[in-house]
Amino acid sequence: MDHSVGFFQDLAIVMALTGVVTVLFHRLKQPVVLGYIAAGVVIGPYSPPFQWIHDKETIQMLGVLGVVFLMFSLGLEFSLRKLFKVGATAIVAALFEIVLMLWIGYQIGSAFGWNPMDSLFLGAMLAISSTTIIVKALSELGLKRESFAQLVFGILIVEDILGIAMLVLLTGIAQTGQLSAGLAAVTLVKLLLFMTVSLLVGVLLVPRALNYVARTGSDEMLLVAVLGFCFGFCVLVVKLDYSIALGAFLIGAIMAESRHLHRIEHLIAPLRDASSAIFFVTIGLMLNPAVVLEYAWPVTVITLAVIVGKIVSCGLGTFLSGQDGRTSMRVGMSVSQIGEFSFIIATLGLTLKVTSEFLYPIAVAVSALTTLTTPYLIRVADPLTRRMAHAMPATFSNAFGMYGQWLRSLIAARGEPTLFRMTRRIVVEIVVNLALVAAIFIAVSYSAPHSARLLAHWLADEPLQRVVQWSVALVVSLPFVVAVYRKTKSLALLLAEVSVQPTAGGRFTSALRHAIADLVPILSMIGVFLLVAALSGSILPPTGLLVAVLVCAALLLALVWRWCVKIHASMQVALRETFEEQPDP
Amino acid sequence: MDHSVGFFQDLAIVMALTGVVTVLFHRLKQPVVLGYIAAGVVIGPYSPPFQWIHDKETIQMLGVLGVVFLMFSLGLEFSLRKLFKVGATAIVAALFEIVLMLWIGYQIGSAFGWNPMDSLFLGAMLAISSTTIIVKALSELGLKRESFAQLVFGILIVEDILGIAMLVLLTGIAQTGQLSAGLAAVTLVKLLLFMTVSLLVGVLLVPRALNYVARTGSDEMLLVAVLGFCFGFCVLVVKLDYSIALGAFLIGAIMAESRHLHRIEHLIAPLRDASSAIFFVTIGLMLNPAVVLEYAWPVTVITLAVIVGKIVSCGLGTFLSGQDGRTSMRVGMSVSQIGEFSFIIATLGLTLKVTSEFLYPIAVAVSALTTLTTPYLIRVADPLTRRMAHAMPATFSNAFGMYGQWLRSLIAARGEPTLFRMTRRIVVEIVVNLALVAAIFIAVSYSAPHSARLLAHWLADEPLQRVVQWSVALVVSLPFVVAVYRKTKSLALLLAEVSVQPTAGGRFTSALRHAIADLVPILSMIGVFLLVAALSGSILPPTGLLVAVLVCAALLLALVWRWCVKIHASMQVALRETFEEQPDP
């Protein structure tokens, strides 16, 4: 056990000093996170006289565990239901905030004469607020259950999704040097496809598996199962070239649908607290106080920009989407800081070797300063709103009031809600099933080199191997193809009913409607085939064999049609059950 | 973050496979621990076809964390109070078990023609039962609250202490090649001194510090503080050349006296479960199935020896110390396995490079087999006792009954309980204070090279440096020296009162009594001085200066006598309060 003494000593120093510093920060009524970072600075290589840490690598490895558990916990708190409730406002506010902060960050960087990549990463660092710090601040102030807090959490969720997309885009830009609209579109579609499919498949499988394990009553086994799924999924995600943070977040969101959510949160909390403490310490470890002093001027400017920019952008976005002035101000004040995501983006820049060294300490310094101000800003939001309302000219406040009324009347005026909702629901179902079909073909063609090696034992002929691979993908995706066909048919029927009115169609009404209802699904099937063919890539069999496979598939389909319908229906039921089930208290 | 992907993949494989295997083992109604080991074997390098693990080192480092958390949890469950209740029986039974199993193990090893060191380590491996497995088995059978279970836990605690002493002794034997009685005595005394002092100082400081942190209400800060103390103390212990397992156990026992014991247990449980799962997997990783098959014969013999030997030795020890036959049988059946301690001892042998490679897989195999049998043995204990009672000749059962009666009459006959108790208590207090004095001088002389370097800035003269060091030690230990003086005085008074009866002393009774009461403390102070002088070693000043220091100390003592008495009294009160406080539910 001797080789691990150094590692233990590092861990002991990190934990002991962190303990002392956090107690100190708590006494000074400052957030614990700041204490962690401060402890990291004290331990770190830039602050003499002691060389505290022996093996920085291993400590940083444990720090990565902190990121995973932080994002996983965030995912556990994520809920599709909650998101839908505050959906529109959150999306508008988050988009407003991200776009404006990206622009402000880029402009500040350019004004300081930094290169475009540094400026871009600075913008990205300022875009996303810190969920952990907001949650901590709101719960310390006892405001966590207020309605504006729900809105804030909604904004944070949207920010997280957009932030993850931003990570992917930044990696792309860093590697190719430019942002092509095409790449951005493909990246976003691929990301959304991956997220949709993994959420669907995950929600179908993981909560059931966890329920099974949880029924044993053993916390230990449940924990091992949760960690197995979490790490396993993270590795899968990393293999697909997405970030480990995305993986942890997604699997957390999947487990959020488990009935045993609260037990899982309970079990994960100590692991998250211990490893995230180490993560925040490693941030401090990388902070060179000399660099912060050297860049005191940019740090000041950026800190002010974050506070003012976020209050204005997020507050305005909230207000424009129909909330009152007080709520908007409180939301804006709550999100006026940067945190863990900024460090992740700064780390990304350093890892990809596209940003300068000084960005990281600046991000840490700005985060520390804005973390410090957050609780005071939240507290000052209400008095400030009142003072502003008093000071505002009557014309202004009338105009604001009228805007709110107009917006509400707009929402109330939306007609035909039933037909609209029905159409939307069918379209969503078609898109989801198409996504599944696409994912199956992408997965099979992705794993083609491996399966070809296995198949080579029985089938030497390469085209025949492709036939087998393609057929497997086709058979697996059959239930979803059938579902797409049936949904398109009902959509076509619905549209035919609405668009072909007896007054216009006369005696052809019925025939026209039937024609549309029959034609659209067939056309859509051709579309599905083209999509699949495009996605299959290397595993698409040569034309002759392809036709043969399709004929066989058609014959098979005639036999198993009912079975396909049944399997799809039961999947749908299972999914709905999982989503609708409330977690045990 | 790329360099940690391999580490993550390892972790993912360990957790995912472990999850599957443990669920399987749970379905087969086998202990979870076996599942972990089995998962380790599957992942391990000896079982083709896959090379699952990339970075065995890091996984094993996390496995060491598992040992620390396991021993720490064990310490948390350890309680001086509980131990005192079942004290005598537990000590007799544990001693019986350890001595007999050491002997059996050594004999078996010799019989197989292994070298003496392998045989000795085999004996040590068989001596200690597995706390985790017994706790799991008893709680699964719903017997955890029965009175025989309390006795079993008492035996396990004694075993743990003796086991730790055994670790120290084995290390000594392995390094010097022989067991000298002197070394053994010095080792044991040093170990007991270290344990006593760290328990005392720890109980005085740690629960208070934790209470302070816990009052913030933040689980996160409490966890960081607990981990800081735990790792910090482990490092200290390792620096003193004791095992990390001992450190974790002691600091756990110290924290067991905290009012927030249950909160701490709650926070540590997931960390322990996750890391101990990894620890047990690493055991499986080191298990070469081929070696187990090769040594099938020794494995079988040793397994039988463990089961029969432990039932007989522990059951007999329990019976001889006055328990009834049924309880004795249940106790014997409960402890009839080996576990984590055996692996620690096997690892020690490998680390010290004194044992052969095959001992480890044998220990794992025997542990797996005996873990398997434990639940069945516990279940079969009662029916077996009944059958034995029926089958036993009447003479035998009469003799057994008479032995029990005789033992109970012996205990009841112990006279003068008040005087005996008072004397015992004063002696314990003197010993404890002497231990503290000794520890202070040992600590100061241990740190002498460091402090000399610091002192060199002000004092170039080496003897003067020693004067400063020795004086510091003397001043710090003054309250305890005063306590020793006062306790010896009251002990002398008590003894004088008893031993010098008026019938014998006549009119000199009072004078004699006074003479004894005055002489004994002075003699004891000379003894204390000799002890201290022997322990000071390198920091003892030359005679002239020493006398000067002593004179100064005597003058100082006259001034601060009352203050010394007060400080000692308040320490005693604080200690008693901490021990008597019940943990919050």
**Closest Cβ opposite residue A224 in set B223, B234, B277:** B277
**Spatial distance between the Cα atoms of A134 and B365, rounded to a whole number of angstroms:** 52
**Spatial distance between the Cα atoms of B551 and B546, rounded to a whole number of angstroms:** 9
Whole-number Cα distances in Å, B472 to B277, B448, B451, B538, B553: 47, 11, 11, 14, 11
* A173 contacts A179 by C-beta, under 8 angstroms: yes
A194-198, B71-75, B283-287: which range is least confident on average? B283-287
Give the total number of structural domains in chain B: 3
Instruction: Return the structure tokens found at A283.
Output: 């941030």
Contact A270 B351 (CB under 8 A): no
Q: How far does A9 lie from chain B, in Å, by closest CA?
A: 6
Contact A23 B234 (CB under 8 A): no
**Spatial distance between the Cα atoms of A533 and A531, rounded to a whole number of angstroms:** 5
Restricting to B residues 319-338, those with a Cβ less than 8 Å away from any Cβ of A are none
* B387 contacts B153 by C-beta, under 8 angstroms: no
Decide which of B217 and A304 is more confident: A304
Per-residue pLDDT, B520: 84
Contact A15 B232 (CB under 8 A): yes
Query: In terms of domains, do B428 and B373 share one?
Result: no
Q: What is the pLDDT averaged over residues B222-249?
A: 86
B52 interface with A at CB cutoff 8 Å: no
Whether B177 maps to a domain, the answer reads yes
**Spatial distance between the Cα atoms of B440 and A88, rounded to a whole number of angstroms:** 69
User: Of A331, A359, A381, which residue sits at a domain end?
Assistant: A381
- Three-state secondary structure along A8-70? HHHHHHHHHHHHHHHHHHHHCCCCHHHHHHHHHHHHCCCCCCCCCCCCHHHHHHHHHHHHHHH
- The CATH number of residue A104's host domain is 1.20.1530.20
Whether A183 maps to a domain, the answer reads yes
A274 interface with B at CB cutoff 8 Å: yes
Q: What is the pLDDT averaged over residues B535-542?
A: 80
Counting Cα atoms < 13 Å in the Cβ hemisphere of B145 gives: 1
Per-residue pLDDT, B460: 77
B351 interface with A at CB cutoff 8 Å: yes
- Kindly report whether the peptide bond that precedes residue A417 is cis, defined as omega within 30 degrees of 0: no
Q: How far does A26 lie from chain B, in Å, by closest CA?
A: 8
Whether A412 maps to a domain, the answer reads no
Q: How far does B2 lie from chain A, in Å, by closest CA?
A: 8
Whether B75 maps to a domain, the answer reads yes
Decide which of B554 and B503 is more confident: B554
| A and B: number of Cβ contacts within 8 A | 168
Q: Which of B2, B4, B347 to mutate to test the interface with A (most CBs of A within 10 A)?
A: B4
- Three-state secondary structure along A237-249? HHHCCCCHHHHHH
Query: In terms of domains, do A313 and A436 share one?
Result: no
Query: In terms of domains, do A377 and A421 share one?
Result: no
**Closest Cβ opposite residue A8 in set B3, B220, B231:** B231
Contact A244 B1 (CB under 8 A): yes
What one-letter code names the amino acid at A379?
A: R
- The full length of chain B comes to 585
B213 interface with A at CB cutoff 8 Å: yes
Whether A184 maps to a domain, the answer reads yes
Q: What is the pLDDT averaged over residues B435-463?
A: 82
Contact A216 B17 (CB under 8 A): no
Whether A388 maps to a domain, the answer reads no
Q: How far does A348 lie from chain B, in Å, by closest CA?
A: 8
Q: Which of A220, A241, A450 to mutate to test the interface with B (most CBs of B within 10 A)?
A: A220
A24 interface with B at CB cutoff 8 Å: no
Per-residue pLDDT, A230: 92
B109-113, B264-268, B460-464: which range is least confident on average? B460-464
A212 interface with B at CB cutoff 8 Å: yes
Contact B220 A20 (CB under 8 A): no
Q: How far does A321 lie from chain B, in Å, by closest CA?
A: 37
Whole-complex ipTM: 0.76
Contact B1 A212 (CB under 8 A): no
Helix residue ranges per DSSP H, B141-218: 147-176, 181-214
Query: In terms of domains, do A447 and A344 share one?
Result: no
**Spatial distance between the Cα atoms of B70 and B75, rounded to a whole number of angstroms:** 9
Secondary element (H or E) of residue B485: helix B462-499
Restricting to B residues 234-273, those with a Cβ less than 8 Å away from any Cβ of A are 234-235, 238, 243-244, 267-271, 273
Query: In terms of domains, do A274 and A423 share one?
Result: no
A9 interface with B at CB cutoff 8 Å: yes
**Spatial distance between the Cα atoms of B268 and B265, rounded to a whole number of angstroms:** 5
pLDDT band at B106 (very low <50, low <70, confident <90, very high): very high
User: Of A364, A381, A398, which residue sits at a domain end?
Assistant: A381
Query: In terms of domains, do B403 and B296 share one?
Result: no
**Spatial distance between the Cα atoms of A224 and A181, rounded to a whole number of angstroms:** 43
State the residue range of the domain holding A530: 417-580
Q: Does the pLDDT value for residue B50 go beyond 70? A: no
Restricting to B residues 419-478, those with a Cβ less than 8 Å away from any Cβ of A are none
Query: In terms of domains, do B394 and B275 share one?
Result: no
Query: In terms of domains, do A340 and A440 share one?
Result: no
Per-residue pLDDT, A348: 84
| Residues from chain B contacting residue A139 (CB–CB below 8 Å) | none
Per-residue pLDDT, B179: 67
Chain B nearest-CA residue for A68? B8
Query: In terms of domains, do A359 and A462 share one?
Result: no
Q: Does the pLDDT value for residue B3 go beyond 60? A: no
| Residues from chain B contacting residue A67 (CB–CB below 8 Å) | 1
Counting Cα atoms < 13 Å in the Cβ hemisphere of B527 gives: 12
| Residues from chain B contacting residue A223 (CB–CB below 8 Å) | 270, 273-274
| Residues from chain B contacting residue A269 (CB–CB below 8 Å) | 219, 270
Per-residue pLDDT, B102: 92
pLDDT band at B1 (very low <50, low <70, confident <90, very high): very low
B18 interface with A at CB cutoff 8 Å: yes
Average pLDDT, chain B: 82
Whole-number Cα distances in Å, A111 to A159, A299, A302, B161, B166: 26, 13, 12, 68, 70
Query: In terms of domains, do A344 and A455 share one?
Result: no
Whether A409 maps to a domain, the answer reads no
| Residues from chain A contacting residue B28 (CB–CB below 8 Å) | none
Sign, Cα dihedral of A444, A446, A449, A450: negative
Q: What is the pTM of this model?
A: 0.78
Per-residue pLDDT, A521: 85
**Closest Cβ opposite residue B19 in set A22, A225, A277:** A225
| Residues from chain A contacting residue B347 (CB–CB below 8 Å) | 1
Whether B242 maps to a domain, the answer reads yes
Query: In terms of domains, do B332 and B309 share one?
Result: yes
A525-529, A561-565, B182-186, B362-366: which range is least confident on average? B182-186
Whole-number Cα distances in Å, A245 to A160, A251, A265, B278: 10, 10, 18, 23
Give, for all 585 residues of chain A, the pLDDT tens digit: 445 667 778 888 888 888 888 888 888 877 777 788 888 888 877 766 666 677 777 777 788 888 888 888 878 876 666 666 667 788 888 888 999 999 999 999 999 989 888 999 999 999 988 877 787 777 777 777 777 887 888 888 788 778 877 887 888 788 777 766 776 677 778 878 888 888 888 888 998 899 888 888 788 889 999 999 999 898 888 888 777 777 888 898 889 888 888 899 999 999 988 888 888 888 788 777 888 888 888 899 999 999 999 998 988 888 888 788 788 888 888 888 888 788 888 888 888 888 888 888 888 888 888 887 888 888 888 888 888 878 877 777 777 777 777 777 766 555 556 777 788 888 888 888 888 888 888 888 888 888 888 887 887 788 888 888 888 888 888 888 888 888 888 888 888 877 777 777 677 788 888 888 888 888 888 888 888 888 887 788 888 888 888 888 888 888 888 888 888 888 888 888 877 777 776
**Spatial distance between the Cα atoms of A499 and B492, rounded to a whole number of angstroms:** 112
**Spatial distance between the Cα atoms of A412 and A74, rounded to a whole number of angstroms:** 34
Contact A11 B216 (CB under 8 A): no
Query: In terms of domains, do A137 and A268 share one?
Result: yes
**Closest Cβ opposite residue A273 in set B9, B17, B220:** B220
| Residues from chain A contacting residue B232 (CB–CB below 8 Å) | 12-13, 15-16
- In order, the DSSP letters of A320-387 are HTT--HHHHHHHHHHT----HHHHHHHHHHHHTT-S-TTHHHHHHHHHHHHHHHHHHHHHHHHHHHHH
Per-residue pLDDT, B83: 63
Nearest of B17, B32, B37, B106 to residue B365 by alpha carbon: B37
**Spatial distance between the Cα atoms of B105 and B120, rounded to a whole number of angstroms:** 7
| Residues from chain A contacting residue B19 (CB–CB below 8 Å) | 213, 221, 224-225, 227-229
Q: Does the pLDDT value for residue B117 go beyond 50? A: yes
User: Of B324, B359, B381, which residue sits at a domain end?
Assistant: B381
Q: How many angstroms from the chain centroid is the CA of residue A377?
A: 27
Per-residue pLDDT, A180: 66
How many Å is the maximal CA-CA distance in chain B? 94
